[in-house]
Amino acid sequence: MTKVLHSRPIIISSDRLDDCKEYLGDEFHLMIDHALSVGWSLDEVVVALSGLAEEEISVPERAVTLH
């Protein structure tokens, strides 16, 4: 069962997206490093993270809008 964090539409401000990626980057890499340290392969980790993000975006109520 997919857990939806928020059921509102996804609205992305193009001028803030790079800043958000930079802000999340360190924590993202720490999460990857942690998963690697307990035995997951890099391929498994990035595919799992991608799948989780895709599940969050693919909920119909979460249409993505870029402005």
At 14-37, the pLDDT tens digits run 888 899 999 999 999 999 999 999
Q: Is 50 domain-assigned? A: yes
Question: Which residue range forms the structural domain that includes residue 54?
Answer: 10-66
β partners of residue 66 = 12
3-class DSSP state for residue 58? helix
Domain annotation covers residue 4:
no
Contact 56, 4 (CB under 8 A): yes
Structural domain includes residue 22: yes
Is residue 62, in this structure, part of any structural domain at all?
Answer: yes
The tokens describing 21, both together, are 């990626």
The CB-side HSE value for 39 (13 A sphere, CA atoms) comes to 0
Domain contains 61: yes
Q: Between residues 54 and 58, which one has the greater pLDDT?
A: 54
Q: Is the pLDDT of residue 9 over 90?
A: no
pLDDT of residue 58: 79
Domain total in the chain: 1
46 falls within a domain? yes
pLDDT class of 42 with cuts at 50, 70, 90:
very high
Let me know if residue 48 belongs to a domain: yes
Quick check: is 1 in a domain? Answer: no
pTM above 0.75, yes or no: no
SS3 49: helix
